[in-house]
Structure formats: C-alpha cells, structure tokens
A and B are shown apart, each in its own frame.
Chain A
C-alpha cells in the first residue's frame, strides 16, 4: 500500500465495490445517490426513469474470499453478513433492497488495471434478494449467492423492471 493512502485495505475494497455499482448503473443510464453508510444500510440508491421512476437500494460488499460452496456443486457462493445487515436486507420496505457482493482477487495489484486500451476492474459482482427471508439468530448469518446472479447492466435493467412492477 502507498504510504500516503487514507483508506485501509477494506476501505478500498468498499470504494471499489461502490465504483463498480455506479459504473453498471451509468452504463444502464440510471442515476445513483449515496446514503449514509451506517445509518440505514443503503450504500447506494439506483433510480431509473419511465413509469414512476423505480428505485433499488443496494447494500454493497466486497471480498477477496468469495468461495464456491462445494456442497452445491460449486454453483453458489457462501457469504457471511453481519446480523444487522441481514436483518436490513430481509425486512419489509417499499424500495427493493439487494445485496451486491464484488468478488475481488487476492493480490491488490490485480484489483484495477489501466492501459490506453482499457480499464479493468476485477472481478465481477453478484446480487441477492433476501426480501421476506426468515430472521436469523446467528451473529454472522451465512447466505448463499447463486453464481448465475451476476450484477451486470442487463441484470440491473431486469431488476429495475421487476422493481417497477413491484414483483421484486
């Protein structure tokens, strides 16, 4: 880490997950807005236009330790959340709430590379909807995120449409 960095490693992971989500939203043509990180659980609001301008509230995480769950043929990731985060994600709300986890490589120098040809932010994020899930008594509940639920532009557009219909 560079000597004058203000963000610790975890802070940089968090900032990069925010940058990832904002990039996907921008590519989809949606606007974003910050929220106080530790006050409500929402790290980023994403809003679309069109019929009643639907929104999504994202809780962003980043990890270098996202491992496929061997017990489910490697098709899901297991991820541990703070109990408060889990509770926030599953409780009733008008704006749909989603967990978005950025899977990052272990070497920090691989997190972002820039050349004259491209900007690469590794690797990709996955989303999970915990609305209506049962409450957990664990101090760090574990959730299972399907590998198929990649958070990309097309998925964000699909999720926004579901938000518009109220079916998310």
Chain B
C-alpha cells in the first residue's frame, strides 16, 4: 500500500463539503454532531468516523490525513487515489484520456494539442448552453468566456495521458430536491452543474451521431444540433482525436451533488474524425456568414405597440440571387428603415447572415448606408445619404 506524504496545504485543499459528499457516497450516514465542529458518521459494516464540517479547526489537515487512511482501508484503494478523488469531490470533472498510449512520454506538440483541444471542446459546449447554433464566433460569447475563466486544469494522473478539466465547484443542494422557489419555479441545478450536464449531453449526442452516420443515417448530425453540438465542437473533437487511435472523454459528477450514475464516458476512434470533419463543414455552410453587407429596398415593417425594436424584410442579393432577408432593428435603425421605405431608397445593412430553415435572417444588424435613387432608369444618379 502506498504511503501518502503531503504537506498540510495539500490536505487543506480537501473541502469539508467534499469530505461529506465522499463519506455519503460510501454509504456512511450522519449520526450526531461532535464538539460543534464535526459530525459522527455511521454505516452498516463500516467503522464509525468523525468528519469535520469546517476548516476552521486547527487539526483539520491531521484529521483529513487520518480519514484518508480510513477510506483507503474501507474502499481497499490506494490512499493516493482516495486523495485525488477527495480533492475533486466537490467538482464535476471532465477528463480527456488517451487510453492506448504505450510510451512513458508524449511528443510535446501532442500534449499541447490535448490541452488546447480539451479547452476548445468545453468552450464550444459553453457557447451552446443557452443558444443553439451550427457555428459560433470564437470569443464572442461573453458568458461562455466567463465560464471558461473559472475552469481549472487539474494535475496529470500517474500512468496515463489524461487532461483533467475542473469546472467550478458545484454547490451542494441548499433545499430538499423538488422545493419550489418563492415565485413558483422549481429549484434548478446551479449553472455549474447545468453546464456539465449540457457538456455530457453534447458529447453523447456527438458520439451517437457519428455512429448513426457511419451506419447510413444522414439526419443524425442535424438532430445533434438540438443537443448543443456545433461545428466548433466537432472541430475540437477532430483536433483531440488527432494522431491517436482512440480517445476517451469522460464526465465524473461531484459527490456534493450526486447523480445516479457517477461517471459517463464516450470513446472516439480515428474512423470518427472524417465524419466529424464533414459534419463541421456542413454546419459551417449552414452557419452565419459574419460581417456581411446587404443592400436592398425595405419590403415589410412590423413593430408591436410598446416595443422599441422592429422587424423588417429587405430584398437583397444573397449568393447571386435576390432573396428576402429579415432583421430585427433597434429603435433608431428601425426609424431609419421607415424613412428609407417611404422614400423608396435602398437600405444598407451589416450583420451576421444565417439561414434559419428556408429563410435568411440577419443577426446583430446595423444600418450602414441609405442610397437614394433618383428617377433615372439606370439608377446612375444613386447617391448615398449617409
């Protein structure tokens, strides 16, 4: 059995919430308080233990060390493994692992690729948490970037090439499950847990789509879009698979907010790469074209009473054909569109053009030009008004 030799700060890196979640996962049950700073836990066939509920006690590190010994004996597991489980027990953990690595080292470029690919994979999932799109502009989703800033890179694990991503700490439940909030909504999981759940769903949907496509289905990746998959996600996965014959991506759930199945994993193979690459290309073709300029006459104007924004439709040239393009304009730009429409002028818009079903829509639009046409037949006296 390995002896665990750590500094006090390492033991203090195990939070009381992590300790509590861990002991409950091994079927200990809280029995009574002890000295106002700890609790006695009991369990059938298990030794009674005392677990601190605060780090404010002087001997916290000493107690954690002793508890690791106890857990190690009960679980018949190396104390080093127990320690690593404990230190991450209050976080959902995402691991990207190369199972078949048969050397003691990895070329540095491949190692760097694993870390950056793992980051890109998580970022792509974060972008699609609240808004499903076939492709995202990297770095433009502030909420996703804010989330990524709170993710930490865990220590490498002995004996494998695994990148460990540590999303933010998942808080334990503050109310019994199913309790209603004061405004009638059912208590939701916190963002940290929802994000991990979304990542796991996207991963699973991607794996299923790859398998179904390989067996002849051409709709599988379109269906995966609803689960949060995107060209960005597929690109990251292709980059991760890279030169490796096999790659495993797993999610382990925080013990502070346990779920029925503690760990889920998806394995991708070299054969998946071309399929994912093709899916990415297809999504990018469907995805928005950024910073597009369109010119056309305003055909339709709709603004509900009380709204500041209004929806317009312009007839503009898209891919060489005149198409109807809708856009939702701010109050000021909508007023400009009204004037343009009444004056028979041509409106110039800039934004991100994307296809939504059979229709074109301009996202993030802004008016950039108004071109007044005089009565000449060829429009040669058209001039820009602003």
On A, residues with C-beta under 8 Å from B are 40, 51-53, 57, 88, 91-96, 166, 168
Given A52-B50, A91-B58, A93-B58, 13 further pairs, Cβ under 8 A: A52-B40, A52-B49, A88-B58, A92-B57, A92-B58, A93-B57, A94-B37, A94-B57, A94-B59, A94-B60, A166-B34, A166-B40, A168-B35
Q: Known contacts A52-B40, A57-B59; is A94 also within 8 Å of B35 by CB?
A: yes
Interface residues of B in 1-47 (CB under 8 A from A): 32-35, 37-38, 40, 47
* Smallest beta-carbon distance B98→chain A, Å: 42
Interface residues of B in 45-99 (CB under 8 A from A): 47-50, 52, 56-60, 62-63
B48, A94: Cβ atoms closer than 8 Å: no
A92, B56: Cβ atoms closer than 8 Å: yes
**A92 and B56 alpha carbons, distance in the complex (Å):** 7
* Smallest beta-carbon distance B51→chain A, Å: 9
Provide 8 A-B residue pairs closer than 8 Å at the C-beta atoms, listed in order of the A residue. Answer: A52-B47, A52-B48, A93-B59, A94-B37, A94-B59, A94-B60, A95-B62, A166-B33
A94, B63: Cβ atoms closer than 8 Å: yes
**A165 and B38 alpha carbons, distance in the complex (Å):** 12
On B, residues with C-beta under 8 Å from A are 32-35, 37-38, 40, 47-50, 52, 56-60, 62-63
* Smallest beta-carbon distance A1→chain B, Å: 36
Residue of B nearest to A54 (CB): B50
Total A-B residue contacts, Cβ distance less than 8 Å: 41
The 3 closest A-B CB pairs, nearest first, are: A52-B48, A166-B34, A93-B59
Pick the most buried of B32, B34, B38, B48: most chain A CB atoms within 10 A of its CB.
B34
- Give the interface SS of chain A, mostly helix, strand, loop or mixed: loop
A94, B40: Cβ atoms closer than 8 Å: no
**A88 and B37 alpha carbons, distance in the complex (Å):** 16
Q: Which of A53, A88, A92, A94 contacts B34 (CB 8 A)?
A: A94
A166, B58: Cβ atoms closer than 8 Å: no
**A93 and B63 alpha carbons, distance in the complex (Å):** 10
Residue of A nearest to B34 (CB): A166
**A88 and B34 alpha carbons, distance in the complex (Å):** 20
B47, A94: Cβ atoms closer than 8 Å: no
**A52 and B49 alpha carbons, distance in the complex (Å):** 6
Q: Known contacts A57-B59, A88-B58; is A94 also within 8 Å of B38 by CB?
A: yes
* Smallest beta-carbon distance B303→chain A, Å: 64
* Smallest beta-carbon distance B56→chain A, Å: 6
* Smallest beta-carbon distance A34→chain B, Å: 13
A95, B37: Cβ atoms closer than 8 Å: no
Complex interface: chain B residues within 8 A of A168 (CB): 35
Pick the most buried of B47, B49, B52, B58: most chain A CB atoms within 10 A of its CB.
B58
Complex interface: chain B residues within 8 A of A52 (CB): 40, 47-50
**A166 and B58 alpha carbons, distance in the complex (Å):** 16
B50, A94: Cβ atoms closer than 8 Å: yes
Pick the most buried of A88, A92, A94: most chain B CB atoms within 10 A of its CB.
A94
A51, B48: Cβ atoms closer than 8 Å: yes
Complex interface: chain A residues within 8 A of B47 (CB): 52-53
Residue of B nearest to A168 (CB): B35
Complex interface: chain B residues within 8 A of A40 (CB): 59, 62
Complex interface: chain A residues within 8 A of B59 (CB): 40, 57, 93-95
Complex interface: chain B residues within 8 A of A88 (CB): 58
Complex interface: chain B residues within 8 A of A92 (CB): 37, 56-58
**A95 and B60 alpha carbons, distance in the complex (Å):** 10
Complex interface: chain B residues within 8 A of A94 (CB): 34-35, 37-38, 50, 52, 57, 59-60, 63
Complex interface: chain A residues within 8 A of B50 (CB): 52, 94
Residue of A nearest to B33 (CB): A166
* Smallest beta-carbon distance B71→chain A, Å: 14
Residue of B nearest to A131 (CB): B35
Complex interface: chain B residues within 8 A of A91 (CB): 58
* Smallest beta-carbon distance A80→chain B, Å: 22
**A148 and B52 alpha carbons, distance in the complex (Å):** 33
**A57 and B66 alpha carbons, distance in the complex (Å):** 14
